[in-house]
Amino acid sequence: MATYSLANERLRALEDIEREIGAILQNAGTVILELSKEKTNERLLDRQAAAFTASVQHVEAELSAQIRYLTQLPSGIANSNSGKK
């Protein structure tokens, strides 16, 4: 049972990362839209750029943690779960 709990926790973490990537894309879209205007709002650009940078750093750290976890799994566990649905 504990294995399923850990697996669910890992899946939730990946879903959080996916949502954060969506937020990154929204921030980038907002910046691009603002840059296309004749008169840009510098404060908005600064806030969106800071949010973009922070989100990218967070996603990078979380993905690195996920990869570290996967590289520490015994190869038999990783292979035996790959074919299950």
In this structure, is residue 22 part of a structural domain? yes
Q: Domain tally for the chain?
A: 1
Q: Specify whether the CB–CB gap between 3 and 17 falls below 8 A.
A: no
pLDDT score, position 81: 54
Which residue's structure tokens are 């908005």?
44
Q: Measure the CA–CA gap between 42 and 85, rounded to whole angstroms.
A: 49
Q: Residue 12 belongs to what domain range? A: 1-72
Q: Tell me the residue type at 80.
A: S
Query: Which CATH number is 32's domain given?
Result: 1.20.58
- pLDDT at position 82 over 70: no
85 band by pLDDT with thresholds 50, 70 and 90: very low
How high is the pLDDT of residue 66? Answer: 92
78 in any annotated domain? no
Q: Which two tokens stand for residue 51?
A: 């949010």
Sole residue written with tokens 């205007």: 37
